Amino acid sequence: MRKVPLNYVNGRLRSMGAFNTISRWNKVWILATAVSWLLFSLYWVQMIYNRIPYLLQTDPNRYLTLQFWTDHVTGAIIDTLRVVAVILLFIGLYLAWGPKKQTFYSVKKYLAIAILFEGIYWLAVLPDITRRLVTGQQPQLLYVGFLLEILAASVLLIVLSTKVWKYEVGSRNNLIKWGCFAGISYIFGMWIYNMFRWLSMSGLVGEVDPRLAINLFGGITSIGFLNTAITLTLSLVFAIYGSYLLIKRNNKKLGTQLTGLAILLFGLHFIIYTIYAWFAPNEWAFVLVLTQIWPMPIIGVGIGLLMRKDEL
């Protein structure tokens, strides 16, 4: 009888129980990130569902405007969809980590739909941003950055969702590859939007909302700008190089650590930004509007991968 290589057997076992082999440390931080994502999404759901009746009360004909449908109605739908996405994620995690531990293959459809809904969430914003750009709303640079973020975040998330849905035991490496592509694209989207946001608020390019006008290199504002310029830029660089090592060089040790460092810096950016926003003039009032802050707890996952508590 021909012997089956031990590394092949181990690979198949890891592939079948991908979620069951995750360390307790990373499970805690994944759950913390999911809770943060849910709370952030619920905030937007309650806000938009309260705002629509108020808008119609103040202007009964508002429903005749394109903005009402592309901004408010679409916003209500996709914010609700995002909450559903998080709930599906929780279901998948419970089935994988609960009393009757199921394999990744068994829970993949919950995760695939959750990822798909997150991709649709971003893509559905495209009509409203396009409307703002076409009608010349200011600041144009901010909306250009938002447009690039939408395209970067949505497309590969939707592709990843199909890869997760079609996942077969033994195709773990292919799933990691597409996960890396989607992760790099997501970080790039956050990076380009936040860099464009800072530049648009500085007034260096185009007009700026007086409530958000800043001196980019003066006082506390420089801390906020440098935070984005340093943490998200390095996060993107390490994500790209870590993915290269994982996919092309099969260097799982260093590839996992660099990917962990990228995730750590990604979460750190939002932690520093939230602290900055508390002290910066006018910024705190817009902290939930200007950017996504829910990924803060993902810093723990980054630390776990950096410390090699798990290996990709």
What are the tens digits of pLDDT across the range 178-214? 999 999 999 999 999 999 988 887 766 656 666 555 6
- Predicted local confidence at residue 172, as pLDDT: 87
Nearest to 46 by CA among 73, 79, 6, 90: 79
CA 114-20-98 angle, to 5 degrees, is: 70
Q: Which residues contact 22 (CB under 8 A, 6 or more apart)?
A: 30, 97, 310
- Predicted local confidence at residue 4, as pLDDT: 45
- pLDDT tens digit string along 254-278? 999 999 999 999 999 999 999 988 8
- φ, ψ (nearest 5 deg) of residue 222: -60, -30
Q: Which residues contact 68 (CB under 8 A, 6 or more apart)?
A: 55, 62
Cα–Cα distance, 29 to 98 (Å, whole number): 16
pLDDT at 8 over 50: no
Nearest to 112 by CA among 90, 79, 85: 85
More confident residue, 47 or 209: 47
Nearest to 12 by CA among 179, 169, 175: 169
Query: Residues 126, 71: contact at Cβ < 8 Å?
Result: no
Cα–Cα distance, 166 to 186 (Å, whole number): 22
pLDDT at 14 over 60: no
pLDDT at 170 over 60: yes
Cα–Cα distance, 47 to 291 (Å, whole number): 16
What are the distances in angstroms from CA 257 to CA 98, 138, 237? 28, 41, 13
**% the chain with pLDDT above 90:** 66
Dihedral angle of Cα 78, 80, 81, 82, to the nearest 10 degrees: 90
Residue in the structure block whose two tokens are 């592939």 = 15
- Predicted local confidence at residue 123, as pLDDT: 95
Amino acid at site 106? S
pLDDT band, residue 122 (cuts 50/70/90): very high
Q: Is 213 left (phi over 0), alpha (psi -120 to 50) or beta?
A: beta
Residue in the structure block whose two tokens are 């497309």 = 155
pLDDT band, residue 215 (cuts 50/70/90): low
What DSSP character marks residue 231? Answer: I
